[in-house]
Structure 1
Amino acid sequence: MPSFLDAPISGAYHLVNGIASAIEPLTGPYAAAVAIVLCTVAVRLLLLPLSLAAVRGERSRAVLLPEIRKINERHGKDPERIQREIAKLQSESGTTLLAGCLPMLAQLPFFWVMYTLFTTAIVAGQSNQLLAGTIFGAPLGIHWPLFASTPAYLGLAVLLAVVAYFSSRRQLRQLDETASPMSRRIARLLPFGTLATAAFIPLAAGLYLLTTTTWTLVERTILLR
């Protein structure tokens, strides 16, 4: 790991480990797992302004997409004109088609930190105590077992699938009647990408993924009612 990344990783380690140590009398062997959930919730609260911007972006996008289709039909042979017209449309509406991606993009550094914390044996010059944390006996640093499943990973997979299912339904409801079959297929399948991601990351990072996707589902359901 590059030396300039030592500081954020070390800071995150002391924060998560400090929270885990503080709540260990109440949570026992699940202290590190609960600390991950609490840190994830704290991150999402910090990102709430971006989430509100994303919600406004989703509402604006529902209005912009039909207009963008008209622009594409009207100037289909002039890509530069299409770009200018779309940019003008977004400027007049005060939004961008990428607004909905802001919370996800802003979380990438936090997700990377969580991944690194549970794949590194030595952090801040000392043994990584977080690796001793478990969920139902499965170490938080373990990856998806190749030949055997654990209750923790099975539970994680089931919960991710449930959240993905409801996220998929919500995204399909957001599409209008002019949406193409490809757009509907992407909206239906994209949320299930979390299951594929969980197969390649430590259990701790999967727990972060489950917490943040659940937060997103609940948040969007409330704000977009």
Structure 2
Amino acid sequence: MDLYSFAPIAAVLDAAHSVITALIGLLDPVAGGLAAALAVVLVTVVVRLALLPASIATVRGEIERRRLAPRLAALRKRYSSNPELLQRKTMELYSSERVSPFAGCVPALIQAPILSVLYALFAVTVIGGHPNALLEQQFLGLPLGTSFLHAIGAGSPPLELLVFVVLLSGIGLVAWFSRRVTQRYTQSSADEVPAAVRSMAGILSWMPFLTIVFAALVPLAATLYLAVSTTWTLVERQVLRRVLDPGPGAAPVAQPS
């Protein structure tokens, strides 16, 4: 079953399609051939701004887990031989600090389906039983419904392929910065994290680079969306971490009893 043909999702997609089509019409007198691409950027930014409260909650949860990491490590060291007592002491710590073990996870889960629908708007060829008119628009000579892989196979001119190269290179650069800043941010608590978790985190830190491969396979509209969205996420996380995280010296960390 096609998920995007499910009635509620299809209705949301159809409404979003109508909005972006109208937006392209409004931008066309001013932006001309760039109207469709500009509409993709604007819709992406508006949705990300609307999801800002969820992003704040996600970063707050990340900060809380980072703050408690040394105390959780001390508990693991002290009660490693008694798993039941370790679990009880761990939950007591979360309770006393009024922090949920899943802090920030729920807001992240809320964002996922919304951003998935937004991505579908830029990638699905048929919406509400009719062709996705957005994918018929062009950006710098390339149809927004054309993928990088298809453009290569069709023998598109080098200048047109350069559009994809620039976008994919930008996504790759953002992925590299994202990995670097995340590693730097979590470095201070790395020693308190179990080795298995550190190993898994190291593997997952490379996941953003898969976006480059994905972006090369989807329509240009979706590639443009991914470029904007990944850049937005990088900048947003950095700003929120600086604003919301007082830093390790802001308050002393008491040792667990």
Partner amino acid for 1:134?
Answer: Q
Tell me the TM-score normalised to structure 2 length: 0.74
Partner residue in 2 for 1:29: 33
| Selected match of 2:149 from 142, 145, 155 | 145
Aligned length: 225
Cα deviation for residue 215 of structure 1 reads 1.5
CA distance in 2, matches of 1:91, 1:209: 38
Partner amino acid for 2:165?
Answer: L
The answer on 1:217 being equivalent to 2:234 is: yes
Partner residue in 2 for 1:185: 202
Cα deviation for residue 139 of structure 1 reads 2.1
| Selected match of 1:6 from 10, 13, 18 | 10
Cα deviation for residue 224 of structure 1 reads 2.3
The answer on 1:161 being equivalent to 2:172 is: yes
Partner amino acid for 1:199?
Answer: A
CA distance in 2, matches of 1:128, 1:134: 13
Partner residue in 2 for 1:68: 72
Tell me the TM-score normalised to structure 1 length: 0.83
Partner amino acid for 1:196?
Answer: V
Cα deviation for residue 78 of structure 1 reads 5.0
- Aligned positions of 1:59-98 closer than 5 A: 59-76=63-80, 78-96=82-100, 98=102
Partner residue in 2 for 1:41: 45
User: How has the CA–CA distance of structure 1 residues 79 and 172 changed in structure 2, closer, same or farther, with 3 Å as cutoff?
Assistant: same
Partner residue in 2 for 1:52: 56
Partner residue in 2 for 1:135: 139
Runs of 4+ that moved beyond 6 A? none
Q: Which moved more, 1:104-113 or 1:170-179?
A: 104-113
**For residues 172-197 of structure 1, what are the alpha-carbon distances to aligned partners after superposition, in whole Å with 9 as ceiling and x for unaligned?**
11121516563673465233232233
User: How has the CA–CA distance of structure 1 residues 126 and 194 changed in structure 2, closer, same or farther, with 3 Å as cutoff?
Assistant: closer
CA distance in 2, matches of 1:7, 1:192: 32
Backbone CA RMSD of aligned residues: 2.8
CA distance in 2, matches of 1:105, 1:130: 28
Gaps of 5+ in 1: none
Larger radius of gyration between Structure 1 and Structure 2: 2
Gaps of 5+ in 2: 243-257
Kept in 2, the 8 Å contact 1:115–1:204? The answer is no
Q: Secondary structure at the match of 1:94?
A: coil
Identity %: 37
